[in-house]
Amino acid sequence: MSWREFWDGDTPIYANERHKLLHYRLIARGIVDAITELPRSPANAAPASGLVVLDHGCGEALSAQDVAAHCGRLYLCDAAASVRQKLAARLADRGNITIVSPVEVADIPAASTDLVVANSLVQYLAPPEFAGALRLWRHALKPEGRLLLADVLPKGLSPVTDALALLRFGGQGGFLFAAFASLARTALSDYRKLRGELGLASYEEGEMIVLLAEAGFKAERRRPNLGHNQARMAFLAIPG
């Protein structure tokens, strides 16, 4: 089984529906914040002015409508066909949302995109896949566009740190007991098996900045990270 096949099926990652809803709401809020931080010209000063955003590795994107309200075109990309089908069915009436596969990202017009977000994606990409994604994102971005890599695993991050972050989120969000059960369920799932077999990509802060520079970006660490886990890293990069 590959990571793509794992995410194409039912996964034990979310403690319950409340966890999933709060997770996607928090991610959407972070993406909206990134949109509001984009440099604006007088021609695109309005909130829904025609800004183009790509959320690559979007998952179920339960709050995609909140992001779409702040841009002219929102591309949602996920590698799992079943996820794309759910997105297409749920968001069929959203005229400014387009569902694409990773292959179709190459069809986004060159230099047309204001913001690319890749949240909790990099750890599942082998180095050649990550390099290929960086080329696609740079091709799609406007010269003044922004790339936001978020939820990047730092080297040496303990699974215990991730678990404690989830429990804190569960306590704040009202699903603490479900979070405890989820951790036990995940420990017995294919996720743990795959993590042992395939591993997860992790990076030092300086290493990621160098990789982005080699791909044609000027990058810096961004705080806060998207989502609930501030032990993980985010980076903001511009073509340069």
SS3 18: helix
Taking the CB of residue 223, how many other CB atoms lie within 10 A of it?
8
Tokens (6 digits) for 196? 């042992």
Query: Which residue ranges make up each domain of the chain?
Result: 3-239
Indicate whether 55 pLDDT > 80: yes
Torsion 38-224-236-87 (CA) sign: negative
What pLDDT shows up at residue 45?
54
pLDDT in tens, 78-109: 999 999 999 999 999 999 999 999 999 999 99
Q: Using 50, 70 and 90 to split pLDDT, how confident is the model at 9?
A: low
Tell me, which fold does domain 3-239 have in CATH?
A: Rossmann fold (3.40.50)
Q: Using 50, 70 and 90 to split pLDDT, how confident is the model at 184?
A: confident
pTM confidence score: 0.93
Strand order through the sheet with 233-239: 97-100, 73-77, 52-56, 113-119, 141-152, 233-239, 217-222
What is the mean predicted confidence (pLDDT) over 166-191? 87
